[in-house]
Structure 1
Amino acid sequence: MNALRIFAAIAAFSMILPATAADKVVMSVFPTTVAAPSSVGLAKGYFTEQGIELESKWMNRGAETIQALGAGQVDLGLAAMTPVLAARARGLPIVVIGMHSHGFPGYLVASNKNSQLTRLEDFKGKRIGVPMGSGVHTVLLMAIDKIGLKQSDFQIQNARPPDMPAAMQGGGFDAVLGWMPYSTRVVAMGYGKIVMTPDQFEQMLGITYPLVLITTEDTIRNKPDVLQRFLNAWAKSEKFVDRERTESVKLLRGTLGDKIKVLDDKTVTDVMYSYKHDRVALNDADIADVRSTIDYLFAQKQIGTKPSIDQLINNSFAKKAEAMVK
């Protein structure tokens, strides 16, 4: 009888104890279709399953994410490789721990009067609009180098992708290099023609163009278990995005709301899946892409030192997570 009373008392006491608190992770996320994996993971409860309370902070550029990481405002974020390499070359302890997706998003769209041009070299001397400082800009410069020309052989000017349709309507550029939906909107509005696709750029340069998940050396050192559980949920989310397109778009709309309300489901799907979500760990081709980008940026004196791949990329968390969700 006494044993039963003791057991009942323990059970009653345990019911009034607070539940074990989840580990909070603050992540920088772009308020675009890039938010799909985090949206899915939150809606499906994948982060909760791993004891992670995920808070998203909306940011618009990889450079902004890197600044927030350095200031301790976020634990994780997303960025293209160019700003990551620039940060690492400046001595910032940024580390790549996985991927969001891969696939170059850039379409080269010629104005109607230049629609007969089909190769990059055909645009020598012409005005090309591109978001300066972006990964797409770096790929354009690498492509120019690949064909044996120089940046000065072209009139390369800054152009924000949302401004490209209006700029092409007004005759501001002979061509623009941007991503969906803005580049394809130029075509749909009758202001230009696609002359080079993302696949053509990838084949020309042998790139995979990874969009990477980044953190800091301190976070890896101090919170390895939290990072592993985050990556476990992330890998599960990416797998869902890769396989369940219709529901992923629906869940993304639930997160972004008015931010994408002007886009129909087909456009959202086309933009979201212009990137491939079939892996989380970087593979050999991704790492080769990173090496070639480092070599190019260093040769062009855009970075002063070559970051060590071993210090730059820690694939261990992503590989364990991928093994878990197979």
Structure 2
Amino acid sequence: MKRLLLLALAFALAWTPSGAQTLTKLKAGMVTGIDQIGLPIALERGFFEKYGLDVTIARPYATGVDALNALQAGESEIVQVGVPMIGAVLRGMDLVALGNYSGNATKAGSDATMAIVAREGSGIVKGDLASLKGKKIATSFGTINHLYILGILEKARLKPEDVTLVNTPPPDMTVALLAKGIDAFSGWDPWPIVAVKDVPGAVEIIRGGDVISYLGFNVALRPWVQANGDTIEKFLAAVSEADQWMRKNPKQAAQVATRWIPGLKQEIAEAAMQFNIQQADRRLSANNYRALYSAEDRLSRLGIIKATFDVNKHIEPKYILKVMKDHPELFSDLPPIPEAVAIGPGYIFKP
């Protein structure tokens, strides 16, 4: 009888679904931006489990700087950040970008989720970027918000010293505008849309404009990357499937966003999602290398960073390229990457 019970147990274990036994645990981190929502979508829709992962998402951070601090502290193993990666690498953090969470593999400019919003009576005129001169503008130093306002100032033929930049976390920008502590802010969605709705007389001065190439990478520390290639491929496949679902179901994706971004209302999320899906492209191309290089170049020219690094050493495309090869259906609704900027394993970017 005992032998029969053991055989029955062995048979039952042999027929247990493999996913239930082999899920790999992974800790991921995100920021309170609408363009980060592919990550929780992959969790809620079961895509992580489909690809054999048991993912825990840390509380959403205010900025990418906070997310990288959590990565360094071991709170997360992979996070979604862009511009803050530059400062972190220059401070000695050995980061590797593995794929986009937001950006564009098919063209150079991509900033549809960015906007500048001004308060009523600020003297800033919609369509007249030169009217930013002398104003107090909130941004988040060392983030994509910062890069965007710097690009806008250059477009207006202004210098950073022509304005007063105030370091402010994005969730606090609407309150600062309402209190008239600032004249305007540079922000990522949903915060510009929130401000236009909640601050009487607030005006969106400019949105996007391909002023910058958006930086939004899935990033991890190099030792972890070198030891977890299979997990990285599974993760990128899962979030790529989540991105496609988001592009096809923006209203439902907006509902997910309301559960992950504190205080976000459905109507705001839906409005922001229309911009987000324009650059929800997990693929990598030469355009994304150039985006990182161009961001470094601008920050260096303006004296904001004192050194630069070789972008080739901090982008590893082989994992997302494998996903693109093995699962082309996950990207079938996106424009094809132009041959001139398509890359392969071992690609070396040359400015």
TM-score, length basis structure 2 = 0.78
Deviations 1:24-58 (A, max 9, x none): 11001235544532222223322112211111111
Aligned residue in 1 for 2:204: 194
Equivalents in 1 of 2:26, 2:147: separation in Å?
31
Equivalence map 1:51-70=2 (5 Å): 51-60=52-61, 61-70=63-72
Aligned residue in 2 for 1:3: none
- Taking a change above 3 Å as real, the CA distance of residues 35 and 317 of structure 1, as seen in their structure-2 partners, is same
Equivalents in 2 of 1:315, 1:162: separation in Å?
32
* Maintained 8 Å contact 2:124/2:132: no
Q: Give the counterpart of 2:230 among 222, 225, 234.
A: 225
1:294 partnered with 2:296: yes
Q: Give the counterpart of 1:109 among 93, 103, 117.
A: 117
TM-superposed CA distance for 1:277, in Å, is: 4.7
Q: Give the counterpart of 1:215 among 200, 217, 220.
A: 220
Secondary structure of residue in 2 paired with 1:66: helix
Aligned residue in 1 for 2:333: none
Equivalents in 2 of 1:186, 1:23: separation in Å?
40
TM-superposed CA distance for 1:7, in Å, is: 11
Equivalents in 1 of 2:135, 2:44: separation in Å?
47
Equivalents in 2 of 1:305, 1:115: separation in Å?
34
Equivalents in 2 of 1:37, 1:186: separation in Å?
24
Q: In structure 2, what residue type is equivalent to 1:122?
A: S
Equivalence map 1:131-142=2 (5 Å): 131-142=140-151
Deviations 1:161-206 (A, max 9, x none): 444444334433333322344333443342322222222xx2xx3x
Equivalents in 2 of 1:9, 1:185: separation in Å?
61
TM-superposed CA distance for 1:23, in Å, is: 0.9
Equivalence map 1:136-155=2 (5 Å): 136-155=145-164
Equivalents in 2 of 1:16, 1:184: separation in Å?
52
* Maintained 8 Å contact 1:239/1:277: no
Secondary structure of residue in 2 paired with 1:156: strand
* Maintained 8 Å contact 2:101/2:280: no
Aligned residue in 1 for 2:242: 237
- Taking a change above 3 Å as real, the CA distance of residues 160 and 30 of structure 1, as seen in their structure-2 partners, is closer
Aligned residue in 2 for 1:48: 49
Largest Rg, 1 or 2:
1
Aligned residue in 2 for 1:259: 262
Gaps of at least 5 residues in structure 1 are 1-5
* Maintained 8 Å contact 2:35/2:189: no
TM-superposed CA distance for 1:106, in Å, is: 2.8
Equivalents in 2 of 1:112, 1:277: separation in Å?
30
- Taking a change above 3 Å as real, the CA distance of residues 57 and 163 of structure 1, as seen in their structure-2 partners, is closer
Most deviating of 106-115 and 45-54: 106-115
1:25 partnered with 2:26: yes
Aligned residue in 1 for 2:345: none
- Taking a change above 3 Å as real, the CA distance of residues 115 and 70 of structure 1, as seen in their structure-2 partners, is closer
Aligned residue in 1 for 2:319: 317
TM-superposed CA distance for 1:240, in Å, is: 0.9
**Greater fraction of residues in helix:** 1
Equivalents in 2 of 1:125, 1:108: separation in Å?
15
Equivalents in 2 of 1:119, 1:166: separation in Å?
24
Deviations 1:143-175 (A, max 9, x none): 323444321111222344444444334433333
Q: In structure 2, what residue type is equivalent to 1:14?
A: F
Secondary structure of residue in 2 paired with 1:282: coil
Q: In structure 1, what residue type is equivalent to 2:51?
A: Q
TM-superposed CA distance for 1:231, in Å, is: 1.2
Most deviating of 314-323 and 184-193: 184-193
CA RMSD of aligned residues (A): 2.8
Equivalence map 1:62-81=2 (5 Å): 62-80=64-82
* Maintained 8 Å contact 2:139/2:168: yes
Secondary structure of residue in 2 paired with 1:280: coil
Equivalents in 1 of 2:161, 2:204: separation in Å?
23
Most deviating of 98-107 and 139-148: 139-148
1:14 partnered with 2:11: yes
- Taking a change above 3 Å as real, the CA distance of residues 271 and 151 of structure 1, as seen in their structure-2 partners, is same
